[in-house]
Amino acid sequence: MLALPFIDLRSERRLLRRPVALVAAVLVVLSMGVLTYKGATAKEALASEVVQAVPSWAKKEGFAGNPQALAGAKLFASSGCTACHTYLGTGSSNLGAPELSSEGSKHKGIQFQISHLKCPSCVNSGSPMPSFKSFSDADLKKIATFLEASKGPK
């Protein structure tokens, strides 16, 4: 940009005689506006919105009567799990993380789920999933109960 006045030594100055530069400048300004607007109004899946899906998950998966599983589902929905995992269409799938609404039908067991959450790569070698060992034992148990209660939509 700084060098442009020395490189572009044409004598023509009128804007209308410089269609390419004019169109480029207009497009730059327009796209700045459009992208700013898009960025400001972008819809992010907020944790609170994911949590709102929990009652419908409980109904479809049939764990509405299980308070441990319900509490686990809320933790799951509010702890960033859905940044990589989908659950009945909620969340986004990243790093090859599996959809978890049928996790319980694999019958891996509560203990496996807790170990996996504490150190994913210790039980599933090469797993890129981060460790969630900062959760309390009670919370880990709730999430594990929720996962094991997720045997696929009925």
CA 112 to chain centre: 24
78 is an interface residue for ligand HEC by CB under 6 A: no
- 94's CB contacts (< 8 A; 6+ apart) are 83, 84
* Spatial separation of the C-alpha atoms in residues 2 and 7, rounded to whole Å: 10
Contacting range for ligand HEC; rule: CB under 6 A; set: 28-36, 44-52, 61-69, 90-98: 90-98
CA 148 to chain centre: 22
Residues numbered 19 to 58 that lie near ligand HEC (CB under 6 A) are: none
Nearer to ligand HEC, 62 or 80 (CB): 80
Smallest distance, ligand HEC to C-beta of residue 134, A = 10
97 is an interface residue for ligand HEC by CB under 6 A: yes
Sign of the Cα pseudo-torsion (7, 11, 14, 17, in order): negative
Nearer to ligand HEC, 11 or 125 (CB): 125
Q: What is the dihedral of CA 113, 119, 121, 127, to 10 degrees?
A: 70
Q: Which stretches of the chain bind ligand HEC, using CB under 6 A? A: 76, 79-81, 83-85, 94-98, 100, 103, 106, 108, 113, 116-117, 120, 124, 127-130, 132, 143, 147
